[in-house]
Amino acid sequence: MLVLEYTRAADSARQAVMAALAELREIEPQGYLAGVGPDLIDFSGVAALFELNPKNMRALMAKYGALFPVPQFIGNAACWHSADILGLIAAQGWRDIPEAELELAQCARSMNRAIRSHASV
């Protein structure tokens, strides 16, 4: 497995990801895409996005109950889609979220869903 981090200018997050994929195919034509990030984040990552400590994060989750996004994995490590968390923060006006950051998180979530649905076929 090879993990790469790309930073590039593009008109959209999707264009940037697709350009990175094209470059990867040139480097390793037999390779496949396992995932795009940033997508899933754990409890500590969520707390960091809210700029809260874990105790205050738990209190915020309890206070907003049903408004808070449902985790994607439950157990030892609950994870949320960063797009869902960033969207909540932006919608509630708790903190300014740069549009490019939200767009990239939404693109990563969408592409990872497509990868998972293709893999399960």
Residue of 35, 36, 52 whose CA lies nearest to 44 = 52
Instruction: Kindly state the average pLDDT of the residues 48-60.
Output: 89
CATH number at residue 94: 1.10.1660
16 assigned to some structural domain: no
33: pLDDT strictly greater than 90: no
Domain that residue 59 falls in: 36-119
Q: Is residue 82 part of a domain?
A: yes
Any domain includes 2: no
Domain contains 99: yes
- Got the DSSP string for 7-68? ----SSHHHHHHHHHHHHHHH-TT------SS-EEEHHHHHHHHT--HHHHHHHHHHHGGGS
Q: Does 15 reside within a domain? A: no
How much of the chain exceeds pLDDT 90, in percent?
A: 26
Report the chain's mean pLDDT, rounded to a whole number. Answer: 86
Overall average pLDDT of the 39-56 stretch: 90
What is the mean pLDDT of the segment spanning 98-114? 91
Kindly indicate the confidence band of residue 87, based on its pLDDT and cuts at 50, 70 and 90. very high
Count of the separate structural domains present in the chain: 1
The answer to whether residue 54 sits within a structural domain is yes
Kindly state whether residue 58 falls inside one of the protein's structural domains.
yes
Q: Is residue 1 part of a domain?
A: no
The reported pTM is: 0.79
Residue 74 pLDDT class (50, 70, 90 cuts): low
Given this model, what pLDDT does residue 23 score?
Answer: 87
Task: Evaluate if residue 86 carries a pLDDT over 90.
Answer: yes
